Amino acid sequence: MDAIDRAIIDLLRQNARAPFGELGSRVGLSASAVKRRVDRLTAAGVIRAFTVQVDPRLEGLGTEAYIELFCRGTVAPADLRRILSAEPAVVYAATVTGDADALVHIRSRDIESLEEALERVRSAPSVDHTRSAIVLSRLVNRDAG
């Protein structure tokens, strides 16, 4: 992971389909040298995957919310993972410092389906209560989505 690797990753983030030759001309290497670095970064897991960024609104997932999860007593992270993985609307979840046990990011079609997803999460026996913040408008979105 040197400066050239970082430069290549930055360029790939902007356009994962950029030809190796063009990447090479920008970082001062030949196409095959760039390919070898990209292969190495992919094998090492630094580059996890080549994906597409989809506009959630146009895909029919325009409604999102962040939910703080409060559990009864002590719940193992593994249990939380099991509960939250079962709900397809859950895009992201993590245990956090502070009052809440976990922070959950939910995405769905509309408010109704958001409420349904929330209700399914709340119905888990270890979940005591939740506190929701529905997203009104996005201000910043650096990795997009």
Partner DNA sequence: CGTGAAACTGGAGTCGT
Partner DNA sequence: ACGACTCCAGTTTCACG
Six-digit token string for 98: 């502070």
CA dihedral 25, 27, 32, 37 (to 10 degrees): -160
**Touching a copy of itself, residues 48-67 (CB under 8 A):** 48-55, 58-60, 64-66
Which residues have a Cβ under 8 Å from the Cβ of 18 and sit 6 or more positions away? 11, 12
Examine residue 4 and tell whether it contacts DNA (CB under 7 A): yes
76 dihedral zone (left: phi>0; alpha: psi -120 to 50; beta): beta
Closest CB 105 distance from a copy of itself, rounded Å: 9
CA distance 93 to 80: 9
Q: Which does 132 bind (CB under 5 to 8 A by kind): DNA, a copy of itself, none?
A: a copy of itself
Q: Which does 119 bind (CB under 5 to 8 A by kind): DNA, a copy of itself, none?
A: none
Q: Which residue in the set 1, 6, 28, 70 belongs to the binding site for DNA (CB under 7 A)? A: 28
Closest CB 64 distance from a copy of itself, rounded Å: 8
Q: Which residues bind DNA (CB under 7 A)?
A: 4, 18-22, 24, 28-33, 35-37
